[in-house]
Amino acid sequence: MKKKTDAAENFTTVISSEKKLFDLRLGELFRYRDLVLLLVRRDFVSKYKQTVLGPLWAVIQPLLTTVVFTVIFGSLAGLTTADSALPAAVPAFLFYMAGTVQWSYFSSVVTTTSGTFIANSHVMGKVYFPRLAVPVASSLSNMISLGIQLALFCALYLVLALTGQAQASPDAMLLLLPLVILQLMLLSLSFGVIISSLTTKYRDLAMLVGFGLQLWQYASPVAYGLRLIPERWLPFYLLNPVTPPLLLFRRAVFGVGWFHAGYYLLSWGITLLLFAIGVLLFNRIEKTFTDTV
């Protein structure tokens, strides 16, 4: 009888009425890593399922966007592509593609994760699993498309460098690129889960996500260089947490540009704060979302 009692008390999940202020429960997410991998596969397959070109859309979309930016912002508007006063032999096409690839990943993750509760309510209301697994899987599945786009970017960069149309001068800051990608993932995941938590009660926010991302893109150095921003507005402009990683990416791959350790660390501080707020809010809303969705 004692053996049966001991076996019954060997629980893996404990439901309690106690509320902890900083209950991120990331360890539980790690225990369900197999489920996360299955969701990553599901998201990636469903994204390109029944399409003629399939994963090639991950290449076509950033290429078309880069062409549009090059023609409109580069040729017609004549916006600067310089991030610093130092001269840079960076072709406009590569400049715009560097920003497009990063922003495409960021906006895709925010868009897909912002509807987590609404899109998966039929599953979340029946089966228990860490709800955070869904937005995390979405951010990781979009990472596959990001990898394809970065490979294309590197290939074009290499071709232009070998033909003398670009000056390849990356430096030791290339070692920081994994941090840039990680920061973009955490930022997009943070904003996505915050929006998804709020849309359980305020559905209007879901309508504003696409419009807000468009405005945010123009408020970030995606289609222009940092030199376009007046000096007096620069400290406020750099408070945008997306701006420092975008600039650091160009600084690392092109060898010239802008980098300020203070503003970059500040952006990381904002990122971690938003991530903590997003996860806490998400974990709190998941307990009652079935009553409002």
- pLDDT per residue over 247-277, tens digit each? 999 999 988 888 889 999 999 999 999 999 9
Whole-number pLDDT of residue 268: 95
Whole-number pLDDT of residue 241: 93
Q: In this predicted model, what pLDDT tens digit does every residue of 115-174 receive, in sequence order?
A: 776 766 666 666 777 778 888 888 888 898 899 899 999 999 888 888 877 776 777 888
Domain assignment present for residue 51? The answer is yes
Domain assignment present for residue 176? The answer is yes
Domain assignment present for residue 175? The answer is yes
Whole-number pLDDT of residue 5: 46
Res 70 pLDDT > 70: yes
State the total domains in the chain: 1
Whole-number pLDDT of residue 236: 92
Q: In this predicted model, what pLDDT tens digit does every residue of 22-35 receive, in sequence order?
A: 555 667 777 877 88
Work out the angle at residue 35's Cα, subtended by the Cα atoms of residues 279 and 286, and round it to the nearest 5 degrees: 35
Whole-number pLDDT of residue 37: 86
Res 61 pLDDT > 90: no
Domain assignment present for residue 10? The answer is no
Mean pLDDT estimate for the chain: 81
* Of 36, 30, 38, 45, the residue nearest 133 (C-alpha): 36
Domain assignment present for residue 8? The answer is no
| 53 membership: H or E segment, kind and range | none
Cβ-proximal residues to 111 (8 Å cutoff; 6+ apart), any chain? 192, 209, 210, 213
Whole-number pLDDT of residue 25: 63
CA–CA separation, 59 vs 114, rounded Å? 24
Dihedral over Cα of 147, 271, 246, 117: its sign:
positive
Domain assignment present for residue 251? The answer is yes
* Tokens coding 226: 């940092």
Would you tell me how many other CB atoms lie within 10 Å of the CB of residue 138?
28
Whole-number pLDDT of residue 16: 55
Give the global pTM.
0.85
Whole-number pLDDT of residue 271: 95
CA–CA separation, 265 vs 262, rounded Å? 5
Whole-number pLDDT of residue 280: 86
Whole-number pLDDT of residue 20: 55
Whole-number pLDDT of residue 131: 77
Arithmetic mean of pLDDT, 83-93: 75
Range(s) of the domain holding residue 237? 23-287
Would you tell me how many other CB atoms lie within 10 Å of the CB of residue 59?
15
Domain assignment present for residue 61? The answer is yes
